[in-house]
Amino acid sequence: EIVSINDVPDGRFPGHLPEPTEETLKDLQRLVVELGADFGAGFDGDGDRVVFVDDLGRIIPGDITLAIYVKHLDKRGKVVYDVSSSSALREIILEKGCEPVEMRVGRAFLLNAVRELNAVIGGEKSNHFYFPEIWGFDDAVYATIRMAEIVVRAGKKLSKLVDEIPKYPSIPIRTFECPDELKGRVVEEIARYYREKGLKVSTIDGVKAYFDDGWILVRQSNTMPQVKMTAEARTEKRLSEIVGEAEDMIRETIRRLSRGA
């Protein structure tokens, strides 16, 4: 049985903007709980993204959704995901016997990688999910059908499937104002800083430095005079240490380069 809301096409968007966010999904969360639904699915305006709500009314992050898909795959192969995804996703990919392939953020990069690498699935934290059986495309309706299939086959509540995925402390994206002409240099300086500390560094998309117990990602905005940062760690204390160090370094680097610009 399917119960739909805000399903009458209307370009004025009388219900809310066609963007599945914490604010716009509140009605869906409430209805899932009130109706005792197995789960809810919130689509974006053009139907290529879907955000799932579990039976407890919790919004599921995109990287955790992808981890659920991976955990219930019927075959092995490459799994493509973006650099901002949780380490828990990589762990699930490896546990499944699949090969993790980390890519830069962006639909075009992920979609092309899924096709070119013949990946078994791909996905982004932004809730695009790419399926090779539909030519690598991201389709919200198909993604919802796949999730329903997983819930039925597993014989478990979606909330139980979510809770089987490890959760690590993380921060949402933080932004730092930075002149456009300095953004690239700031990111380069940060990459050099972490390399000199002996850390593994990836420059697939900005700079991502890997600690034994976490990571930090710093990228330049493609559209705004900003540098962006996000991070994850195994404990809240460690996350605070990683973030505090990075914030100080980013601000100081921007100040120093601005004085010399």
CB 239 within 8 A of CB 169: yes
Q: Is 57 left (phi over 0), alpha (psi -120 to 50) or beta?
A: left
The CATH number of domain 170-260, selected from 3.30.310.50, 3.40.50.720, 3.30.365.10, 3.40.190.290? 3.30.310.50
**Per-residue pLDDT reduced to its tens digit, 162-196:** 999 999 999 999 999 999 999 999 999 999 999 99
- Could you state, in order of their start, the residue ranges of all structural domains in the chain? 15-167, 170-260
CB 257 within 8 A of CB 182: yes
CB 30 within 8 A of CB 55: no
Give the span between the Cα atoms of 222 and 219, in whole angstroms.
9
| Residue 261 confidence class, pLDDT cut points 50, 70, 90 | low
**Per-residue pLDDT reduced to its tens digit, 7-20:** 888 888 888 888 99
pTM score of the predicted model: 0.93
Identify the CATH homologous superfamily for domain 15-167. Alpha-D-Glucose-1,6-Bisphosphate, subunit A, domain 3 (3.40.120.10)
**Per-residue pLDDT reduced to its tens digit, 58-101:** 999 999 999 999 999 999 999 999 999 999 999 999 999 999 99
**Per-residue pLDDT reduced to its tens digit, 87-144:** 999 999 999 999 999 999 989 999 999 999 999 999 999 999 999 999 999 999 999 9
Q: Got the DSSP string for 42-66?
A: EE-TTSS-EEEEETTSPBPPHHHHH
One fold for both 15-167 and 170-260? no
